[in-house]
């Protein structure tokens, strides 16, 4: 079942279309990574499906009522003179979640602010502010959580805490929809990834699907037995017709191919000429490479 579903969702400001007729679906309980360069339309998309702005066209549907979603925006909504506990008490009342004071203290400890319960927000580091904002997001026990760049600008320890919180939410069956510029983070955490470019969804799927769909030349590493001595230029001449490029890294030859079939053909040449290969490894494209070259898809 889909936790989030949009049909031809569009947002325009005058002649400027920010989100362009987006069809997107997110499975219940998934961690969904939403990628896009600055200005791609990610925040506007989130604002529409969380009710913060009205679509120009199209529809969206969430599997839960509005009071069961949590939103962590990409800006701070904290008050300098309130303590972390005061913030949660205020939002607890605002959201009518009826949590006890002890429940809120436990929540602060859970996000790593157990030592800052009575500390005012003006004394917080940026990472502490993110943790407090995350705690506010969880007050109403949301079943769908939207996180707009939750780890942007925070320290390494805070990143680890936020990653832990995201994984714990998913383990409970909560759907997590998050944006990030940290590609390693997205690849590590996400069940499904979508890439937005200029208001359009370019591709959506798990990381393996993205790698298969990405149009790129195939790179293969042939590692030779260290003890073998041979003329490298002779080898290159033997396989020249099967490759588009090659380079040596120690005793490993990396070749660029246009067809996977050429791997076996190269191996046949190597065997016929008694070149001793101890390992053959295919280089898969990284998420970074896929993201940078968003137009290269089958």
Name the one residue in this structure whose structure tokens are 């195939």: 218
Q: Quick check: is 298 in a domain?
A: no
Specify the pLDDT at position 133.
95
- Mean pLDDT across 120-131: 94
Final residue in a domain of this structure, among 212, 230, 263: 212
Instruction: Find out whether 179 and 146 touch, Cβ atoms under 8 Å.
Output: no
Q: Name the percent of the chain lying above pLDDT 90.
A: 61
Specify the pLDDT at position 121.
95
Give per-residue pLDDT as tens, 164-186: 999 999 999 999 999 998 889 99
Please check the confidence at residue 64 and state whether its pLDDT lies above 60.
yes
Give per-residue pLDDT as tens, 263-294: 888 888 888 888 888 888 887 777 888 888 77
Give per-residue pLDDT as tens, 224-260: 887 667 778 888 888 888 888 888 888 888 888 877 8
Do 221 and 201 share a domain, yes or no? no
Q: In which domain, by residue range, is 54 found?
A: 2-212
Name the one residue in this structure whose structure tokens are 């157990």: 114
Specify the pLDDT at position 253.
86
Beta bridge partners of 24: 6
Mean pLDDT lowest among 2-6, 119-123, 148-152, 276-280: 276-280
Q: Quick check: is 189 in a domain?
A: yes
The count of domains in the chain is 2
Do 132 and 243 share a domain, yes or no? no
Instruction: Find out whether 12 and 72 touch, Cβ atoms under 8 Å.
Output: no
Do 45 and 108 share a domain, yes or no? yes
Q: Quick check: is 192 in a domain?
A: yes
Specify the pLDDT at position 51.
92
How many Å apart are CA 159 and CA 252, to the nearest integer? 36
pLDDT band for position 35 (cuts 50, 70, 90): very high
Mean of the per-residue pLDDT values for the chain? 90
Instruction: Find out whether 178 and 32 touch, Cβ atoms under 8 Å.
Output: yes
Mean pLDDT lowest among 37-41, 50-54, 207-211: 207-211
Final residue in a domain of this structure, among 212, 227, 247: 212
Q: Quick check: is 112 in a domain?
A: yes
Do 165 and 137 share a domain, yes or no? yes
Do 55 and 198 share a domain, yes or no? yes
Q: Quick check: is 105 in a domain?
A: yes
Specify the pLDDT at position 297.
53
Mean pLDDT lowest among 85-99, 134-148, 233-247: 233-247
Residues contacting residue 157 through CB under 8 Å, at least 6 positions apart: 112, 127
Give the domain CATH number at 26.
3.40.50.300
Specify the pLDDT at position 296.
55
Please check the confidence at residue 295 and state whether its pLDDT lies above 70.
no
Do 44 and 167 share a domain, yes or no? yes
Please check the confidence at residue 93 and state whether its pLDDT lies above 80.
yes
- Mean pLDDT across 137-141: 95
Final residue in a domain of this structure, among 185, 212, 239: 212
Specify the pLDDT at position 207.
87
Give the domain CATH number at 265.
3.30.70.980
Instruction: Find out whether 287 and 214 touch, Cβ atoms under 8 Å.
Output: no
Please check the confidence at residue 213 and state whether its pLDDT lies above 80.
no
Do 31 and 96 share a domain, yes or no? yes
Q: Quick check: is 9 in a domain?
A: yes
Do 76 and 195 share a domain, yes or no? yes
Q: How far is CA 227 from CA 69, 97, 124, 275, 283, in A?
A: 62, 70, 59, 11, 25
Do 156 and 89 share a domain, yes or no? yes
Specify the pLDDT at position 273.
80
Do 107 and 19 share a domain, yes or no? yes
Q: Quick check: is 14 in a domain?
A: yes
Do 134 and 276 share a domain, yes or no? no
Q: Quick check: is 297 in a domain?
A: no
Residues contacting residue 116 through CB under 8 Å, at least 6 positions apart: 84, 108, 124, 128
Do 106 and 29 share a domain, yes or no? yes
Specify the pLDDT at position 98.
87
């Amino acid at each position: 079942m889909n936790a989030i579903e949009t049909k031809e969702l569009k947002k325009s400001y005058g002649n400027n279309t920010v989100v362009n007729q987006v069809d997107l679906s997110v499975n219940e309980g998934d961690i969904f990574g939403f990628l896009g360069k600055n200005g791609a339309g990610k925040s506007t998309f989130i604002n529409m499906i969380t009710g913060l702005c009205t679509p120009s066209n199209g529809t969206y549907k969430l599997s839960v009522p509005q009071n069961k979603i949590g939103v962590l925006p990409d800006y701070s909504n904290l008050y300098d003179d309130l303590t972390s506990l005061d913030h949660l008490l205020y939002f607890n009342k605002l959201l009518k979640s009826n949590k006890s004071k002890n429940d809120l203290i436990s929540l602060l400890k859970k996000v790593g602010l157990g030592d800052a319960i009575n500390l005012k927000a003006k004394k917080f580091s940026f990472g502490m502010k993110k943790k407090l904002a995350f705690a506010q997001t969880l007050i109403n026990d949301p079943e769908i959580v939207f996180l707009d760049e939750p780890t942007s600008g925070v320290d390494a320890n805070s990143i680890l805490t936020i990653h832990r919180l995201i994984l714990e939410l998913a383990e409970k069956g909560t759907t997590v929809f998050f944006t990030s510029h940290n590609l390693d983070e997205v690849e590590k955490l996400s069940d499904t990834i979508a890439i937005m470019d200029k208001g359009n969804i370019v591709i959506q799927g798990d990381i393996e699907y993205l790698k298969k769909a990405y149009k790129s030349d195939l790179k293969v590493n042939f590692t030779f037995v260290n003890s073998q001595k041979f003329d490298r230029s002779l080898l290159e001449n033997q396989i020249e017709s099967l490759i588009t490029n090659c380079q040596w890294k120690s005793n490993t030859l990396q070749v660029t191919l246009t067809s996977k079939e050429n791997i076996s053909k190269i191996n046949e040449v190597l065997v016929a000429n008694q070149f001793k290969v101890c390992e053959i490894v295919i280089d898969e494209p990284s998420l970074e490479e896929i993201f940078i070259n968003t137009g290269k898809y089958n």
